[in-house]
Structure 1
Amino acid sequence: MSMFSKLFFSVSVTAFSLGFAQHINTQKLNDYFKALDENHKVMGSFAIADKGKIIYTNAVGFADVESKKKADINTVYRIGSITKTFTAVLVMKAVEDKKLALDTKLSYFFPKVENADKITISDLLSHRSGIRSYTDNPLYSVYYTQPITKEKLVEIIEKAGSDFEPGSQFTYSNSNYTLLAYILEKVYKSSYSELVNTFIAQPLHLKYTKVGGKIDSSKNNAHSYAYEGNTYIKSPETDMSVPGGAGAIVSTPSELIAFMNGLISGKLISNNSFKTMKQFKDGYGFGLFEMPLNDKKGIGHNGSIDGFQSGLFYVADGEKTFSMITNQSGYDHQNIFNTLASAAYGKDITIPTFEVVTLSEEELQPLVGTYVTKEMPLKFNIFIKNKTLMAQATGQGEFPLEATSKTSFKFDMAGITIDFDPAKKLFVIKQGSDATTFTKE
């Protein structure tokens, strides 16, 4: 891999004067992405639509770092779990075609899965089946980059077992949507890839949206990366036989918006089927999340696979749609979505600054310790690693803290700030509008 001490990427922007585009402060939104770009916080593509019409697109960074191939608005990215929305649409299409019913039992297709005689298609769609996600198994890290047969993956899911009684609660599980794709293949006697093409891509004239395969940079496919130590490190590549109907689709932000518009307008399934998808319980419907966007509420899905992160959300109040796919990110995606929403609704946006200070280990040492709060059964371990202040919450991974002053720190990827008061032996952690005080034990 090439080593880069510092990279500055040019911003590729296309803005259209359609609908309510005059409300967007295009230059300021461009400056926002330029700030993220120049500070290595994000590489990827972004789009906004008004009433289904694209009014803003932007691409920053590289699709392929090694060849220095820049991303553009037609760069194709892996979208991860937004695939689940596609799968849910195909299931609703199968219901309309009388090939499935929402109360069909899983036992009809995969009787060896635990509780299969109690689990319905509806339970799978809404993540209420209780089936443990195969991606949570430590063995997943051993095989995910290699091709896998359906039979083997079903066997893995069967052995994983169940976490709760079907229908009793919500727990997100990739196993649900992998099984749904296999069920679709059985009832249509066609591959999942062919079903995506026949029932979604072709009717909407989507050129780039399909079930992905091995990444090919010559076809403007993006690789994904992590930015560490002034270097872009290419992420391992999941073999797309593994995520299947839970995460195997590739697309662009503009085509994701076209997909959402097709779903909303009844071009893919009936309005009644779409209403069924929007019957949210515990924040999830059928392949759809509810998500706050500033003072409004969006519906859609997000995704993560390898080093890719993605999001697609529609806001009925104002009929705006927002989509992004990144192939490197060290910044809070909620902040990006809120900024896109602010721009789309004519509100001012804030250009982030990324000034940091360097502190010695002697200056960091007074902050080290274990911190607790009465508000929740959670502890934070603050420690020094490789001359960097680190934080780790109970049961979670460690993350680095960047100093903005001698007592203030941030973690941009999650939108977290931590302000220490060494004299009082406490810190206040903020994420969004939430603030919690932790005291040193």
Structure 2
Amino acid sequence: MKKIIVILLLFVSGITFAQSFNKTKLDSLFQILEAKDKFMGSVAVSENGKLIYTKSIGKDVVESNKKTSNLTKYRVGSISKMFTSVLLFKAIEEKKLSLNQTIESYFPAIENANKITIGNLLNHRSGIHNFTSDPEYSKYSSEPKSSKEMIAIIAKRKSDFEPNTKAEYSNSNYVLLSYILEQTYKKSYKELVQSKIVKPLGLKNTYLGSKINTETNECFSYSFADKWNKETETDMSIPIGAGAMVSNPTDLVQFIESLFSGKLISKASLEQMKTMQDNYGMGIFQVPFYDKIGFGHTGGIDGFRSALSYFPESKLSVAITSNGMIYPNNDIVIALLSAYYNREFKNPTFEVIKLKSEDLDTYLGEYASPDFPLKIAITKDNTKLMAQATGQSAFPLEATEKDKFEFRMAGIKLEFNPKVNQMTIIQGGRTNILTKK
């Protein structure tokens, strides 16, 4: 449910040769990730409806050493929003709802409900505050909530902005859309997904989640701090159509291929879904890769991370789901796309330089820049360098070269220049230079 959007760097690409798909190098990438215990999850690549690559590594249950397989099922977080959007457009095509209708008859207690449309909910232009951003969210996220309770939680906050004046990601929008669907059809969201998407497409591993059941090939999620630690479970009554779907990569590529081939909604509806306004579509985002433009969504809930994209020009689908990662999913997606589009990519070595505690002293301090929104405090914990951005948790850094450190899980690189008291932070293709106070 977290806002985790795959943005791949946009460059000029050459001619595509799908027949030269670099399976061997991908296999070596996953061999390295598994040997170094840097990633747990599954991937699938499909061209024109046919799987051309799958891989699963890691463990479903670390504590019992239960290994991951292609049958493993994951919570896919905000990829759920694509399912919700499809259901909304189905309802619109059935003339049960319209994009322009306002939501006051459903949620009279929500501020500006008489101005907010279903379309505004779909493309995050409602102004409704994102409930998962509130500090108290973590206190109740593992407890079941009724629709009445969730509506009250969402309604108690004031609007963040006037409806349709800008866009800002909010899980609240898609929780409310789920309830609109349930009221419209007089059926549960679970039943609607099953009858209108899962059953028609013959998906075998996709459904609205509940408590994790490893006996049915579901997996737990983990975060890493010296060892894999099991994450708490969000109760799926809370995110519902904003983030409660369970699936796996082979089902996900089938879902998105069916969406783009007209098996779920009309071409006109898909075009509306794909239309970007302030970088948001209606349950979908653009995914650029060099000169190619794909469409899809990412997801994050508990320790699960996922990404799904489709490139219409190549009829290419790529899906990744993980239940534990140190090496970023985004880097794996780049490798998968590079293997297909015949582009060079470098496999990691995970070489780490061992430093003494006193070696870290030259880097310690608080770094800031007028052009960077956060201050970064650099501290140490024995022989480990730590970084902490304003208002966020501290994270460990690994030394990769002299004066160079990484936090691979978030794709962050820090390069220090002690002579001039500066630190360069590199993330997502952006570079900022901060100065030590």
Task: Please tell me the TM-score bracket, short chain as reference.
Answer: over 0.9
For residues 265 and 317 of structure 1, the distance between their equivalents in structure 2, rounded to whole angstroms, comes to 12
- Matching residue of 2:112: 115
2:299 to 299, 303, 315: 303
Contact 1:294 1:341 in 2 (8 A): no
For residues 245 and 204 of structure 1, the distance between their equivalents in structure 2, rounded to whole angstroms, comes to 19
Q: Give the fraction of aligned pairs with identical amino acids, expressed as a percent.
A: 47
Matches within 5 A, 1:357-376: 357-376=353-372
Contact 1:382 1:392 in 2 (8 A): yes
Q: Which moved more, 1:141-150 or 1:273-282?
A: 141-150
Q: Which amino acid is the alignment partner of residue 317 of structure 1?
A: E
- Matching residue of 1:3: none
Higher RCO structure, 1 or 2 (CA under 8 Å, sep 6+): 2
- Matching residue of 1:418: 414
Matched, 1:149 2:146: yes
Q: Which amino acid is the alignment partner of residue 38 of structure 2?
A: K
Contact 1:381 1:391 in 2 (8 A): yes
Q: Which amino acid is the alignment partner of residue 232 of structure 1?
A: W
- Matching residue of 1:216: 213
For residues 425 and 232 of structure 1, the distance between their equivalents in structure 2, rounded to whole angstroms, comes to 35
- Matching residue of 1:233: 229
- CA distances 1:103-127 after superposition (whole Å, capped 9, x unpaired): 1111021111111011000000011
2:250 to 248, 254, 267: 254
Return 5+ residue gaps in structure 1 as ranges: 1-19
Contact 2:189 2:241 in 1 (8 A): yes
Number of residue-to-residue matches in the alignment: 422
> How large is the RMSD of aligned CA atoms in angstroms?
1.6
- Matching residue of 1:408: 404
Contact 1:46 1:323 in 2 (8 A): yes
- CA distances 1:158-193 after superposition (whole Å, capped 9, x unpaired): 112211101111111111000000000001011100
1:39 to 36, 51, 71: 36
TM-score (norm 2): 0.93
Q: Which amino acid is the alignment partner of residue 240 of structure 2?
A: G
- C-alpha deviation, 1:296, in angstroms: 2.4
- C-alpha deviation, 1:250, in angstroms: 0.3
For residues 415 and 160 of structure 1, the distance between their equivalents in structure 2, rounded to whole angstroms, comes to 33
1:78 to 75, 80, 84: 75
For residues 302 and 189 of structure 2, the distance between their equivalents in structure 1, rounded to whole angstroms, comes to 21
2:388 to 383, 389, 392: 392
For residues 427 and 212 of structure 2, the distance between their equivalents in structure 1, rounded to whole angstroms, comes to 35
- Matching residue of 2:175: 178
2:201 match: secondary structure: coil
For residues 381 and 22 of structure 1, the distance between their equivalents in structure 2, rounded to whole angstroms, comes to 48
For residues 112 and 219 of structure 2, the distance between their equivalents in structure 1, rounded to whole angstroms, comes to 40
1:107 match: secondary structure: coil
1:314 to 292, 310, 315: 310
Return 5+ residue gaps in structure 2 as ranges: 1-16
For residues 300 and 349 of structure 2, the distance between their equivalents in structure 1, rounded to whole angstroms, comes to 26
For residues 396 and 174 of structure 1, the distance between their equivalents in structure 2, rounded to whole angstroms, comes to 21
For residues 213 and 386 of structure 1, the distance between their equivalents in structure 2, rounded to whole angstroms, comes to 41
Q: Which amino acid is the alignment partner of residue 320 of structure 1?
A: L
1:275 to 254, 271, 279: 271
TM-score (norm 1): 0.92
- CA distances 1:274-329 after superposition (whole Å, capped 9, x unpaired): 00001101211100011223442221000001110000011123221110000001
Q: Which amino acid is the alignment partner of residue 235 of structure 1?
A: E
Contact 1:294 1:338 in 2 (8 A): no
Contact 2:141 2:238 in 1 (8 A): yes
2:345 to 326, 331, 349: 349
- C-alpha deviation, 1:393, in angstroms: 2.7
- CA distances 1:8-64 after superposition (whole Å, capped 9, x unpaired): xxxxxxxxxxxx764222121011112122222210000111122211000000111
Matched, 1:127 2:124: yes
2:142 match: secondary structure: coil
